[in-house]
């Protein structure tokens, strides 16, 4: 597979994937991205012109999707509306992009006989109790909680149906919470880092006991590459790096790394329907494809991420006031 079409490649994980693929493989990459509030052309700066192209457009435009899919060997489908809080305010666009958009991608790979890797999330499985010894596996029943996770679950079902009914050559992956450079500052970790740079106290939803299973974005993307190369068609691989931490622990670590007192944060209004805990069992990915995460020290990865936001204020500054105003209006 030498030519890749990467949907949503101007966003957080997609842009890191594009950098990763151009640095670590000889693939050429075309990004199809609608450049919504979450897409940023600055994420794709400095890439080699002879191996990279950006097409501004939507996965909900079947003519454009068909034209681009036909011209490439494989599609890596990251494009999505990705923020749970936004899905509670306005679910419609999540249905359009995440479900209808995936439908158009599937119809195109079906028509032109192309390989697809579909990027999904652990949130499709719902949540776990804090003391549940079981983690999510590919056998865990779907039980999504929010409009975002329900739309991702729907897109996964479409992919599996297109594999079974039409013989589409697709793989799926469901990853846990990513952190790293270029993540939109509406998300938990970059919001707190940029708050602290601005002298604002971090904002913890509810009691802060909710657990997320953190993975560095480069580890997610090395797994995606492995699945694209060696994954079995029709299979689902769960991607996670054994990084469970509750939100309070994460905020305390950010405060410590940024030289503040550990209790220098505020508890704010909780997210409605807030999932309690996610945890990934990635045994299948590790044993079948030999994948291993490189970022095994969360504190080190977080330190690098803090440095990235400190050094790239021009990247996030234009979004900060609008993002915080939206949260303030909800008491968050
Ligand atoms: P993001 O919001 O940072 O980026 C999404 C990108 O998709 C943006 O560049 C946006 O402009 C683009 N996009 C939105 N609508 C589009 C449309 N209609 N057509 C084309 N492009 C469109 O999201 P992210 O965090 O990078 O997530 C990428 C993918 O990974 C999503 O599918 C998400 O569900 C999945 N995922 C994310 C995480 C996480 O922790 N962030 C974890 C697991 C899975
Ligand atoms: O200010 C905040 N305070 C806070 O306590 C924000 C923005 C979030 N939180 C909490 C909510 C969650 O328990 O932090 C946790 C992480 O929140 P988000 O960054 O919004 O991520 P989450 O809802 O867990 O979803 C993320 O991981 C799975 C991504 O946004 C999804 O795209 C992915 O599918």
173 and 86 in one domain? yes
**Residue 33 designated active-site:** no
Encode burial over 95-106: b for 16+ CB neighbours within 10 A, e otherwise.
Answer: bebbbbbbbbbb
Q: Which domain holds residue 150?
A: 3-178+214-239
28 and 99 in one domain? yes
- Residues within a 6 A CB radius of ligand 2: 82-84, 121, 123, 177, 187-188, 191, 203-205, 210, 212, 247, 271
CA angle 114, 118, 120 (to 5 degrees): 175
Identify whether the C-beta of residue 119 lies closer than 8 Å to the C-beta of residue 76: yes
What residues have CB less than 8 Å from 133, skipping those under 6 apart? none
144 and 15 in one domain? yes
pLDDT for res 27: 96
pLDDT digits (tens, 9 = 90+) for 281-329: 999 999 999 999 999 999 999 999 999 999 999 999 999 999 999 999 9
260 and 174 in one domain? no
pLDDT for res 1: 59
* Structural domain contains residue 332: no
Give the CATH number for residue 253: 3.90.25.10
pLDDT for res 191: 98
168 and 77 in one domain? yes
Ligand lying closest to the C-alpha of residue 327: 2
* Domain count across the chain: 2
* Structural domain contains residue 330: no
105 and 31 in one domain? yes
229 and 311 in one domain? no
pLDDT digits (tens, 9 = 90+) for 4-37: 999 999 999 999 999 999 999 999 999 999 999 9
265 and 135 in one domain? no
The label of the residue with tokens 């509030």 reads: 37
Our mutation pick for probing the ligand 2 site, out of 13, 152, 153, 177, counting the most ligand atoms within 8 A of Cβ, is: 177
121 and 47 in one domain? yes
Mapping DSSP onto H, E and C, the string for the chain reads CCEEEEECCCCHHHHHHHHHHHHHCCCEEEEEECCCCCCCHHHHCCCCCCCEEEEECCCCCHHHHHHHHHCCCEEEECCCCCCHHHHHHCCHHHHHHHHHHHHHHHHHHHHHCCEEEEEEEHHHHCCCCCCCCCCECCCCCCCCCCHHHHHHHHHHHHHHHHHHHHCCCEEEEEECCEECCCCCCCCHHHHHHHHHHCCCCCEEECCCCCEEECEEHHHHHHHHHHHHHHCCCCCEEEECCCCEEEHHHHHHHHHHHCCCCCCCCEEECCCCCCCCECCECCHHHHHHHCCCCCCCCHHHHHHHHHHHHHHCHHHHHHHHHHHHHHHHHCCC
- What's the whole-model pTM score? 0.98
**Residue 148 designated active-site:** yes
Identify whether the C-beta of residue 268 lies closer than 8 Å to the C-beta of residue 330: no
129 and 142 in one domain? yes
* Structural domain contains residue 26: yes
Our mutation pick for probing the ligand 1 site, out of 35, 40, 59, 82, counting the most ligand atoms within 8 A of Cβ, is: 82
**Residue 122 designated active-site:** yes
The alpha carbon of 189 and the centre of ligand 2 are apart by a number of angstroms equal to 8
CA torsion 22-25-26-28 (nearest 10°) is -40
| Residues with pLDDT less than 70, the chain | 1
110 and 91 in one domain? yes
152 and 16 in one domain? yes
What is the Cα–Cα distance from 41 to 11, expressed in whole angstroms? 9
């Amino acid at each position: 597979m030498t030519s890749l079409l990467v949907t949503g490649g101007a966003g957080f994980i997609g842009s890191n994937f594009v950098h990763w693929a151009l640095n670590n493989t000889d693939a050429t990459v075309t990004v199809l991205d609608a450049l919504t509030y979450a897409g940023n052309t600055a994420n794709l700066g400095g890439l080699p012109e002879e191996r990279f192209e950006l097409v501004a457009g939507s996965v909900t435009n079947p003519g454009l999707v068909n034209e681009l899919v036909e011209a490439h060997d494989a599609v890596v489908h990251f494009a999505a509306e990705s923020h749970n809080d936004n899905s509670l305010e306005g679910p419609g666009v999540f249905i359009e992009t995440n479900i209808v958009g995936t439908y158009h991608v599937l119809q195109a790979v079906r028509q032109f006989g192309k390989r697809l890797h579909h990027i999904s999330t652990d949130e499709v499985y719902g949540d776990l109790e804090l003391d549940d010894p079981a983690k999510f596996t590919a056998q865990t029943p779907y039980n999504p909680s929010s409009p975002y996770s329900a739309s991702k679950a729907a897109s996964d079902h479409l992919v599996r149906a297109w594999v079974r009914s039409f013989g589409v050559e697709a793989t799926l992956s469901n990853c846990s919470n990513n952190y790293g450079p270029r993540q939109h500052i509406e998300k938990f970790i970059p919001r707190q880092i940029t708050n602290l740079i601005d002298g604002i106290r971090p904002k913890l939803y509810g009691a802060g006991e909710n657990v997320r299973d953190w993975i560095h974005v480069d580890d997610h993307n090395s797994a995606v590459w492995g699945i694209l190369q060696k994954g079995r068609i029709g299979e689902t691989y769960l991607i996670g790096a054994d990084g469970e931490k509750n939100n309070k622990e994460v905020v305390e670590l950010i405060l410590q790394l940024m030289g503040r007192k550990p209790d220098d944060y505020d508890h704010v209004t909780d997210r409605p329907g807030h999932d309690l805990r996610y945890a990934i069992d990635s045994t299948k990915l590790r044993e079948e494809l030999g994948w291993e995460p490189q970022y095994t020290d969360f504190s080190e990865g977080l330190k690098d991420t803090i440095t990235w936001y400190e050094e790239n204020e021009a990247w996030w500054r234009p979004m900060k006031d609008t993002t915080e105003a939206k949260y303030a209006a909800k008491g968050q």
